[in-house]
Homo-oligomer: A and B are copies of this chain.
């Protein structure tokens, strides 16, 4: 009947096709994505298509077509001129997840180049860019030319996304947020991959979180997303693996901004702390894969060893310091990590009972961290970080340091966490939330889940997706 375009493809016909459960072709998806990027298809039509896609599900082919069309909707970064294999790591988001500051310098120290375009704190999860900006002077908003220059000199650069990259994703993500079409494996996968593919990566390592602090709490949903991302990225020509990793408690001992940077600097200096061992181990495993997919190690065991050496011999620290300096950051703040930390309000949370920490509701802990002032409640317009859209500021010194972890035996009155907040009122709310999220009991505690529960490569991802029962289950309900 009506149509919004004079071209042979009519938006309403495509919406109806998807509505009726039929997959759209690459050309049809390209038409819709291009209409989103150029504002030639009205938002109400795009949102009808997104809702039909959410309910009917996207096939792997549709997901790939969507990721590629979004990738191609704007400017792209071309790392081939750097003369090195470009590898990145992407995490689906968690609490205390600071591996980027370790894996980027480790992998760069081992000979690959890491062009990392990162995001900001959102809801219960922290943001890589916010953490970096706790270093005085660190500029995350580089032009593509500056990005290339830092990569050339340091081998790694962590920046915010420019407005010119994947404009279609910015439009569609913002729309999904307003129209209840966020939590869908195909749409999430295409959105993430479009940004990664726009960075021209040769290889990609995905850290898909599971457990109480993950966006997708259910193991089968996380598995579905991981398999779909691997299959899609591989089909688009990027060598990819996905690790399913535990987010059943905060990662490491610090959740916040500066305090996470400080924890990483200690690890980069070769210092070991029992409560940071999980961050160290996960970073080495992720970096091991980055090095291996980047062709610098013949197998992942050797990649892991190379990563460990780079951490222990100071070469990763050297890359990190050089990168911070190249971004305008003041590396002198690393001279005394505690002296630089100047929170407005500090409070120690003592154990209110004697027993074992049997449970940490990590999403709730993430919200407690957010309430200290370290995070932000909701993004302004889009998941896509864009400096021009005016993000709410975060408090670089706020956050929570954990002194006891899941499974630990604690005595009543023993400090289990220290909170750093912007105001006393924020402190009260954060403390109440943190307390409610931690359960101390004499119940027996089961064995903790493994740090890495499953790894998908191309073959295992395709085998997983070929199982229609699981695929259907995950697609039709969240």
Residues of A within 8 A of B (CB): 1-2, 4, 12-13, 15-16, 19-20, 42-48, 50-52, 54-56, 123, 175, 177-182, 378, 477-478
- Known: A1-B123, A51-B51, A54-B19. Contact between A44 and B179, CB under 8 A? yes
Minimum C-beta distance from A59 to chain B (A): 17
- Known: A43-B43, A46-B44. Contact between A16 and B180, CB under 8 A? yes
Contact of A47 among B1, B16, B48, B123 (CB under 8 A): B48
Residue in A56, A175, A178, A477 with the greatest tally of chain B CB atoms within 10 Å: A178
Contacts of A178 in B (CB 8 A): 2, 4, 12, 42, 44-45
Q: Top 8 closest A-B pairs, CB basis?
A: A48-B179, A15-B180, A51-B51, A16-B180, A44-B47, A43-B44, A48-B51, A47-B48
Minimum C-beta distance from A140 to chain B (A): 24
Give Cα distance in the complex from A179 to B47, angstroms.
Answer: 9
Assess whether B12 is in contact with A48, with CB atoms less than 8 Å apart: no
Count this chain's copies in the assembly: 2
Assess whether A180 is in contact with B55, with CB atoms less than 8 Å apart: no
Sample of 18 more A-B contacts, CB < 8 Å, known A2-B178, A47-B51, A51-B55: A1-B123, A1-B378, A13-B180, A15-B51, A15-B179, A19-B55, A20-B477, A42-B43, A43-B43, A44-B44, A44-B178, A45-B47, A45-B178, A47-B179, A48-B51, A48-B179, A51-B51, A52-B55
Give Cα distance in the complex from A260 to B79, angstroms.
Answer: 72
Assess whether A12 is in contact with B44, with CB atoms less than 8 Å apart: no
Residue in A13, A15, A55, A378 with the greatest tally of chain B CB atoms within 10 Å: A55
Contacts of A177 in B (CB 8 A): 1-2, 12
Residue in A19, A42, A46, A123 with the greatest tally of chain B CB atoms within 10 Å: A19
Contacts of A54 in B (CB 8 A): 19
Give 15 pairs: A residue, B residue, CB < 8 Å, sorted on A.
A1-B177, A12-B178, A12-B179, A12-B180, A15-B179, A15-B180, A19-B51, A44-B178, A45-B179, A48-B48, A48-B181, A51-B51, A52-B55, A55-B55, A55-B56
Residue of B nearest to A47 (CB): B44
Give Cα distance in the complex from A43 to B55, angstroms.
Answer: 19
Assess whether A50 is in contact with B48, with CB atoms less than 8 Å apart: yes
Residue of B nearest to A175 (CB): B44
Contacts of A47 in B (CB 8 A): 44-45, 47-48, 51, 179
Give Cα distance in the complex from A2 to B377, angstroms.
Answer: 10
Residue of B nearest to A123 (CB): B1
Residue of B nearest to A55 (CB): B55
Assess whether A19 is in contact with B175, with CB atoms less than 8 Å apart: no
Residue in A177, A179, A378, A477 with the greatest tally of chain B CB atoms within 10 Å: A179
Give Cα distance in the complex from A134 to B13, angstroms.
Answer: 35
Residue of B nearest to A11 (CB): B178
Minimum C-beta distance from A373 to chain B (A): 20
Contacts of A16 in B (CB 8 A): 180
Contacts of A2 in B (CB 8 A): 177-178, 378
Contact of A48 among B4, B180, B477 (CB under 8 A): B180
Residue of B nearest to A122 (CB): B1
Residue of B nearest to A478 (CB): B20
Residue of B nearest to A20 (CB): B477
Minimum C-beta distance from A30 to chain B (A): 19
Residue of B nearest to A12 (CB): B180
Contacts of A52 in B (CB 8 A): 51, 55, 180
Give Cα distance in the complex from A180 to B53, angstroms.
Answer: 13
Contacts of A56 in B (CB 8 A): 55
Minimum C-beta distance from A375 to chain B (A): 14
Minimum C-beta distance from A135 to chain B (A): 30
Give Cα distance in the complex from A19 to B56, angstroms.
Answer: 11
Contacts of A51 in B (CB 8 A): 15, 19, 47-48, 51-52, 55
Residue of B nearest to A380 (CB): B2
Minimum C-beta distance from A299 to chain B (A): 43
Minimum C-beta distance from A254 to chain B (A): 26
Give Cα distance in the complex from A262 to B314, angstroms.
Answer: 97
Contacts of A181 in B (CB 8 A): 19, 48
Give Cα distance in the complex from A378 to B12, angstroms.
Answer: 14
Give Cα distance in the complex from A42 to B178, angstroms.
Answer: 9
Give Cα distance in the complex from A179 to B42, angstroms.
Answer: 10
Contacts of A4 in B (CB 8 A): 178
Give Cα distance in the complex from A46 to B179, angstroms.
Answer: 8
